[in-house]
Structures are given as C-alpha cells and as structure tokens.
A and B are shown apart, each in its own frame.
Chain A
C-alpha cells in the first residue's frame, strides 16, 4: 500500500519535473532555432550558448509587477491561467514513456512507467481533458474586457471545434487497429506490427496538422497572432499569470508530441528492444521515447519558422473540408484492413 503510493508519487514527481524542465529547454531551442533558421545569432550572452537565458527570463517573470487591469471580470480573470496550466499538467499521466512491465520497485510493478496504468479509458482521458484547455484561453479572452483578447478567444473556440473532430477521428483509427483505448496496448500493438504512421499515413498527417492547431502553434496561431491581435487572449496578462499561459503552451506541445509518438511512431519501442529485459530495457526505452519526442518537438519549431500563418477562413475550410473527410477515409481504410486481417 505505502510502497505503491510512493512509487506513484515518484512517477508523478518525475513527470512534473520533466515537463517543467522541458519548458526552459524548449524556449531555448525555439529562440536559438528561430535565429538559426533566420540566419542570425539569437540569445547567446547569458551562459554558454545562451543556455541560461530562459532561466533569467523566468526570474524576470517572477519579479515583474502583477498588474490587474481595471474593468476585468476578476474571478474569471484569475481562474483562466489556473485552468490553462492545470489542464496542461494533468494530461500526461496516461502516456507510457518507457517499457518495464517486468521491473518492480519495492515489490511494486512499474507497469510501463505510466502514472495511471489502471485507467482503462487511457487516450479518451487525455483527449477529454485536453479539450478543456480551450477554456483557459476563452475565459482569459472574455474576462480581460479587451477586444483583441475576445477576438483571440473566439478564434480559439472556433479552431477547437474544427480540429478536435478530425483529430479524434484519426485517433479512432489507431484505437481500432490496436483494439484498446489503453496507450500501452497501442505501443504493444506497434511493437508486434509496423509503426501506425506507415499503414495509417493519412491519419497520421491529419493528426499532425490537428496537433499544430490544438496547441495554437504557427501556422495556426490565430488566437495569439501578434501581428493582428497584439497578443490575442493574453494581452492583458502580466508577470506569472502570463507565464502560466506561456508554460501551458509548451507543456501542451510536449504532451501532444508524446501522444503523437505513442500513437503513430511506435512509442518507446526501438530496434532490437525484444532482446532486452528488465532495467536496461527500461532505461533504453525511456531514452528512445525522449529522442522521438525531441524530434517531434523540434519539428514544431521548424514548422513555426518555415510557414506563414493561415487566414481564419482558410483554417476553417481546411479543418472541415479537407482534414475531416481525410480522417474518415483513414478510419474506413483501417476498418476494412482490420476486417480482412491486413493490419
């Protein structure tokens, strides 16, 4: 009982620390990557290669004056950043980020280094809570009493409605092939068969595009769109409240990347993993997961500095008229494939 509790707490701590550490690293990668892509230097003064820059930025945000503008709807104005960061931090618990079904710590099985191995609805939990993240943005935009904020919030909700459906339908293809809602079962399926990205390439592409829209990243960063909406939904926020939105965006990116790797890119599996067992397998599988997630995260940065922003109506048209039919097509193909035993 106590050992079980301790192991779960340790896993939670590991995830929380890992996610929060990923934020400054990602900020650094983003700024240096942007500089590299635009052929300039980027932040390189604080620490070697500018590595300490994000930490200095974090300290700055901590000590900045927290301004609450007059005319905001106070309760909701305070609630919005909390919702954003809460949703971002709790969704990761169903993702198996390592092997280790045969590893026990103090007699407690680690079962895939997943925090909540008993949660049978797995990916549904992640999608359900992930869909709540829009409320952080919508509440912020509405309660700020600012037209730019409100426009950002409006765009965000429209974007969510357009993309959630395509994303869920493409995930359904994976669930259908694996025959389980649990993400560790999805990984187990992929270790027996091909990576899902290969037979379900269309579904994978739909998921990638929808993931960019879900995390409000360029080319779909319409809720922020600094060139037209100043900063969109968080224009009235300062200090740590702004930082909460900033952090939640990066944590959401990490979570969606991990989900993408788990669903389509084989999860923690790596060539030759069947020959290993116990701790070596566990450590190497976590490393493999980290490498894959890092690659997907770099792709987020890469795309951001390569593609221009979509216009609002283009975004809606792409979601409803292109991605959704493609996702349904993928689902039909997977259904036929499973029915005939090809997949």
Chain B
C-alpha cells in the first residue's frame, strides 16, 4: 500500500516538476509546481515526518505559491513564444547542470542515506524542535539572520528616492 502511494506520488512529482519547467503558460507552471510540492508533502508523510508534510503544504503550497500566482496574474505574464525560448546555452546548461548536481549529490549522500535508513527517525514537531534549538541552533540562527538581511535588502531596493 505504502509502496503504491509512494510510486504514484513520486512519479507525479517528477512529471509535474518537468511540466513546471517546460510548459509555456506561466500559470500552468506555477500550478504544476503546486502539484509537485503536494506530492513531496505526501512522501514526507509516508516517511513519518508529519510536521514537515504539514509545513510543506502550509508554507510552500499555501503561501509562497499563492504569492507566485498573484504576481504571475497581476503582471499578466505572457505566454512564452517559440523563438523566445531558443537560447541554446540556457537550454543545454539547464539540462546539464542539474545532472551534474544530481550525480554529485548522489555520490555524497548515498553512503549516509544507506547508513541512516535503518534507524527509524522521529518526525514529530517535538523531535524536530529539539533538533533545531539543540544541535543545529547555530545554523538555525544563521538562517534567520540571513532571512532578516534579505528582508532589509528588499525594503532598501523598493524604497523610493526622495
């Protein structure tokens, strides 16, 4: 049962991620990205990480992509024309770079993944919170400072000159 759900959502996630990249209609791009995030959330739930699953939907599908959709619809983003899409460097680079990243990631991560797969993880909010303010406190604080800096930068960029 779990295997069937996993296979279905994983396949759907990959297909919709591809649609998100190649479709010419910006609104469809955003919508298929939502499907991808939803499938990823289902996979998190299958792994027992219920908090991550809920957070994935709440933050990404529920808030950030609504903002994307808002911007796409507000700016009335045009449908990408055929000749406009012809940028060979961008196209081949866009295909090659993810493959390189995938290979590198697989080489680095596979030994760790194989080692940790046997130990069951606790995906509840409590366990995650303990990890965040315990062993990973420094990284957690660093990320929040980074986000604050990004926020201030955005404010400075949009501020009108007097």
Contacts and interface: CB of A to CB of B under 8 A. Distances in A.
Given A135-B34, A142-B73, A153-B73, A124 B62 contact: no
B124 interface: yes
A137 to B, nearest CB: 10
B108 to A, nearest CB: 31
Q: How large is the interface on A (under 10, 10 to 19, 20 to 34, 35 or more residues)?
A: 20 to 34
A128 B62 contact: yes
Interface string B13-55: 0000000000000010001001000000000000000110111
A138 B57 CA distance: 17
A138 B58 contact: no
Nearest to B64: A161
B66 interface: yes
Contact of A131 (B63, B69, B74): B63
B68 to A, nearest CB: 10
B54 A128 contact: yes
Interface in B46-89: 50-51, 53-55, 57-58, 61-63, 66-67, 69-70, 73-74
Contacts of B69: 138, 157
Contacts of B55: 124, 128
The 3 closest A-B pairs by CB, nearest first: A131-B62, A124-B54, A128-B57
A120 interface: yes
A132 B64 CA distance: 11
Given A127-B54, A161-B70, 17 more contacts: A76-B31, A121-B53, A125-B54, A128-B54, A131-B57, A131-B62, A132-B61, A135-B34, A138-B69, A138-B73, A139-B31, A153-B73, A154-B70, A154-B73, A157-B66, A161-B67, A181-B51
Q: How large is the interface on B (under 10, 10 to 19, 20 to 34, 35 or more residues)?
A: 20 to 34
5 contacts: A120-B51, A124-B125, A129-B57, A154-B74, A157-B66
A134 interface: yes
A120 B73 contact: no
Contacts of B63: 131, 160-161, 164-165
Contact of B54 (A76, A121, A142, A158): A121
B14 to A, nearest CB: 20
Interface in A73-97: 76
B1 to A, nearest CB: 14
A314 B31 CA distance: 29
